[in-house]
Amino acid sequence: MNIDVKFQEGLTIIKEKVIKGRKHLGIGKKKFGILCGGLSETFIRKLEQGEANPTIKTLVKLKNGLNTTIPEIITRNRIGISSKSITLLKEESYEESKKNFSTRVKKILSHRGINSIDFSACLNMDESATNKYLKGTENPTYLMMLRFAYVLDVNVVDFFDYKGQLPSNDKFKRRYLNP
């Protein structure tokens, strides 16, 4: 599937979750933004219009405001996340989420037999930029998570199943993003 199509589908899912959650709480965009750690009313509007590319930091704020987990926000269906991961996901801060995300990406890379140089080449990205994500110092956007998922042939949600099984390598074939 085309990464742009997956991106639009992902933004639609996030949009639906935000609208449904906010309406369930019975509050407006401004109060919802405050509940979500100070997200602006304008940003909430953009999320609800499917026009915002949220970062992990934003997703952590949303999960706190909605009292849920990041996988619940970014997927339409119930997903098979390990119970140990669910506990971590509900309680983790932004910094912990960023660190756990980068650790999981590195585990999948290692499992797939891909080093950071090859990963950067697959992403068509400078290695120093890639390494910022792998070290957990960069705040990835949803689109960047999708790019990682495409190259590693996983779903974005797999990056948040910190304690779950690693994906099967049976049918894995390295993929490259076009320049």
In the chain, the domains with their CATH numbers are: 3-74 (1.10.260.40), 83-160 (1.10.260.40)
Report residue 78's pLDDT band, with 50, 70 and 90 as the boundaries. Answer: low
pLDDT score recorded for residue 174: 87
1 pLDDT higher than 80:
no
pTM of the predicted model as reported, rounded to 2 decimal places: 0.92
Buried b (16+ CB within 10 A) or exposed e, 107-120: ebbeebebeeebbb
Q: What is the largest CA-CA distance in the chain?
A: 48
Contact 149, 158 (CB under 8 A): yes
Q: Between helices 116-123 and 142-152, what is the axis angle to 10°? A: 110
Contact 124, 150 (CB under 8 A): no
Compute the distance between CA of residue 140 and CA of residue 131 in angstroms, rounded to an integer.
12
Compute the distance between CA of residue 134 and CA of residue 120 in angstroms, rounded to an integer.
11
Q: Does 79 or 38 have the greater pLDDT score?
A: 38
Residues above pLDDT 90, as percent of the chain: 84
Query: What are residue 141's DSSP bridge partners?
Result: 55
